[in-house]
């Protein structure tokens, strides 16, 4: 599974720091612009110049990754609640 994490908002103006590994993934070099799409529950940052098919393929991969993470988390919770016999 690919790493996940949080972006920390640094001030009241909403400034944030994008970690180096995310900058590399997005192709950011210095002061730059990052395209994005917004949904009610998430924001998708996109590498500049990426075509629609590559974005959709990436979303499919992320969807499967999220399913695996959710299943693993649920299994961990269920195992912890089983009565010891």
Ordered by start, the domain boundaries in the chain are 1-48, 50-80
Q: Which has the minimum average pLDDT: 12-21, 38-47, 71-80?
A: 71-80
Give pLDDT, residue 9: 86
Q: Report residue 42 as tokens.
A: 């998430």
Does CATH place domain 1-48 in 1.10.3470?
A: no
Q: Residue 83 above 60 pLDDT?
A: no
Does the model's pTM come out above 0.85? no
What b/e readout covers 40-67, taking b as 16+ CB neighbours within 10 angstroms?
eeeeeeeeeeeeeeeeeeeeeeeeeeee
């Amino acid at each position: 599974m690919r790493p996940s994490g949080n972006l920390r908002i640094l001030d009241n103006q909403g400034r944030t720091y994008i970690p180096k590994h995310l900058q590399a993934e997005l192709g950011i070099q210095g002061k730059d612009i990052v395209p994005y799409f917004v949904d009610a529950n998430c924001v998708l940052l996109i590498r500049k110049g990426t075509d629609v098919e590559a974005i959709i393929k990436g979303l499919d991969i992320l969807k499967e990754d999220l399913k695996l993470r959710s299943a693993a988390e649920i299994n961990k919770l269920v195992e912890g609640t089983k009565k010891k016999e």
